[in-house]
Structure 1
Amino acid sequence: MIVRIMGEGQRDLADSHFAELNKLDDELLAEMENGDGPGFRRTLQALLDAVRSLGAPLPDDSLEPSELILPAPDSTLEDVRAMLTEGGLIPG
């Protein structure tokens, strides 16, 4: 799956990693619902770090469509809330 981190580019991520990412996504949702700003920031960073470490970067000139778009590291609670679907940032 091609994943884009806003402002950073794309990574090719194997489907086998999505269970781990979904766990972080669930934590992020709970922190957002509870208004836990520091927890939100920490978990967002962990989610993005996981995508960076588990995914292979695509060349900057690649024009692959992104199947999943994640917020930039400096996104606010409100920014991320606007990107949410029923299942969070990551479907499944």
Structure 2
Amino acid sequence: MIVRIMGEGQVTLAESRLAELNELDEELLAEMENGDGPGFRATLQALLTRVRDLGEPFPDDSLEPSDLILPSPGATLEEVQNLLQENGLIPEAP
């Protein structure tokens, strides 16, 4: 699957990694619901770092349709809420 981190670029990520990312996604949702700004910021950074670590970067001059779009590292709570799908930022693992 192709994942875009807004403002950074794209990576290829195996769908088998979605379950691992869902744990961080659920934590992020809980922090958003509880208004935990510092927790939200830390978990967003952890989620994006994990995607970068698990993914293979696309060349900078390549642009493919993204299967998943994640917010930039500096995204606000409101910006992230606008990107949420039914189950959060990360789809449920197959």
Same fold (TM over 0.5): yes
- Partner in structure 2 of residue 19 of structure 1: 19
After TM superposition, the runs of 4+ consecutive aligned structure 1 residues lying more than 3 A away are: none
The AA in structure 2 aligned to 1:16 is: S
Which residue number corresponds to residue 32 of structure 2?
A: 32
Q: Say whether 1:88 aligns with 2:88.
A: yes
- Please report the TM-score for the alignment, with normalisation by the length of structure 1: 0.97
Aligned equivalents of 1:48 and 1:63: distance in 2? Answer: 19
Percent of residue pairs identical? 74
Distance 2:32 2:88 in 1: 11
- CA deviation profile, 1:32-77 (whole Å, cap 9, x unmatched): 0000000000000000000000000000111211000000000010
How far off is 1:6 after superposition? 0.1
Specify every segment of 5 or more residues in structure 2 that has no aligned partner in the other structure, as ranges.
Answer: none
Partner Cα distance (1:70, 1:15) in 2: 15
Amino acid at match of 1:68: L
| Aligned-residue offset at 1:86 | 1.1
- Listed as ranges, the gaps of 5+ residues in structure 1 are none
> What is the count of residue pairs matched by the alignment?
92
TM-score, length-normalised on structure 2? 0.95
CA RMSD of superposed structures (Å):
0.6
